[in-house]
Structure 1
Amino acid sequence: MLAQYVYPSKTGLFRIIRHGRLWRVLCEAQEFGRHETAEAALIAARIACPQARLPGALEQWRHLPELALAHSRVSSDGGTRWRLAG
């Protein structure tokens, strides 16, 4: 998972995710597009879902940098124990 901005709304969890050099806009599992900048992605999300009342500035969204996301996956014993289905 790469760096992302997150904002919960009544219509769902919105995410703006850095994907390579582009930024993806998602609400839950639905993607609204890919954009050159995070700001352009934010504008697209606000246009696509005006009922969500998304903040107009990325500073009002929660920012999860790539490094924090990587560290959140590591448990205190130094490894991650995933249970496989099947």
Structure 2
Amino acid sequence: MLAQYVHPSKAGLFRIIRHGRQWRALCEEQEIGRHETAEAALIATRMACPQARLPGGLAQWRYIPELALAHSRVSGEGTRWRLAG
């Protein structure tokens, strides 16, 4: 898994994940779509799930770089971190 943006909401954990050349938008394990940019994935996610009241800018999401994800796999914690918010 590569770099990703995450945002918790009452509707579930939303993630925008870099997957090769595309960005995947997910709510929990359900894929919402694939997009050319992270910003396009954010817009599509907000349109698909207006009830989640997601922030309009990626700067308001938690960014987890690829290096942190690789380290978490080694430590055995995975991506099950508690998210502030």
Identify whether the pair has TM-score above 0.5, normalized to the shorter chain. yes
In structure 2, the partner of 1:54 is: 54
Amino acid in structure 1 at the alignment position of 2:74: V
Aligned identity (percent) is: 83
Number of residue-to-residue matches in the alignment: 76
Shift of 1:72: 1.6
Query: Is the radius of gyration larger for structure 1 or structure 2?
Result: 1
- 2: CA distance, partners of 1:41 / 1:65: 17
In structure 2, the partner of 1:22 is: 22
Question: Under a length normalisation based on structure 1, what TM-score does the superposition of the two structures give?
Answer: 0.85
Instruction: Give the superposed CA RMSD.
Output: 0.9
Question: Under a length normalisation based on structure 2, what TM-score does the superposition of the two structures give?
Answer: 0.86
Structure 2 unaligned blocks of 5 or more: 77-85
Q: Does 1:10 align with 2:10?
A: yes
SS at structure 2 position matched to 1:74: helix
